[in-house]
Chain A
Amino acid sequence: EVVMTQSPATLSVSPGERATLSCRASQSISSNLAWYQHKPGQAPRLLIYGASTRATGIPDRFSGSGSGTEFTLTISSLQSEDFAVYFCQQYNNWPPMYAFGQGTKLDIK
């Protein structure tokens, strides 16, 4: 079973600054990683899949990188609407299995 660990648990950043969120897999998952944004009371939103491909309609200030066991989500210039919880997710092709990290809460500094 692959375990996903996100860091930090909480990140405080000022609007307009860059935010860097990390996700580590307990074993290599190639590029089988997605990132989601989740705001209270709302549906989660897909940001990135394949470790670095932005989903449809996602602004280019969001970028993903990494492969193997270390992954990063970078938000280049934080907007007010970006403050939320971010989850990484790994997927196993066969049998289909999906594991999420515990989340990073992005707070306004």
Chain B
Amino acid sequence: QVQLVESGGGVVQPGGSLRLSCAASGFNFRSYSIHWVRQAPGKGLEWVATISYDGTDRYYTDSVKGRFTISRDNSENTLHLQMNSLRPEDTGVFYCARDAGGVSWLFNYNGMDIWGHGTPVTVSS
């Protein structure tokens, strides 16, 4: 079964850190770029970061640059999001999502076709 399963969310104080993980199964993980997308309470979806299928390229939304780091371990079929200097506005449910474009993802966007169920992050004192 093709799936992504997030973990690592929790409650953290402002300025603290969390490391989210996303475990992939049922597909050739090393052939797909992966995104992190979050949803603040009562708000819409927000793209956070993307890592290319081979891990060589990483992209971030401006509000997390310098604080969040996306990484992957293709030998373990796992994606991570290291979140430092957390702020209350980082609160939300974090989803990992597969880019459907495979190794041609930069030239042929076919959407984010597989999503996890999300892991909640609360930043509060």
Contact = CB atoms under 8 A, between A and B. Distances in A.
A1 to B, nearest CB: 9
B111 A55 contact: yes
Interface residues of A, number: 30
B11 interface: no
Interface residues of B, number: 24
Name, among B46, B50, B100, B112, the residue most crowded by chain A CB atoms within 10 Å (CB to CB).
B112
A43 B47 contact: no
Contacts of A59: none
B60 to A, nearest CB: 10
A103 B37 CA distance: 15
B111 A49 contact: yes
A95 B44 CA distance: 22
B113 A32 contact: no
Interface stretch (A10-18, A65-73, A86-94): A86-94
Interface of B: 35, 37, 43-47, 50, 59, 61, 95, 97, 100, 106-107, 109-113, 115-118
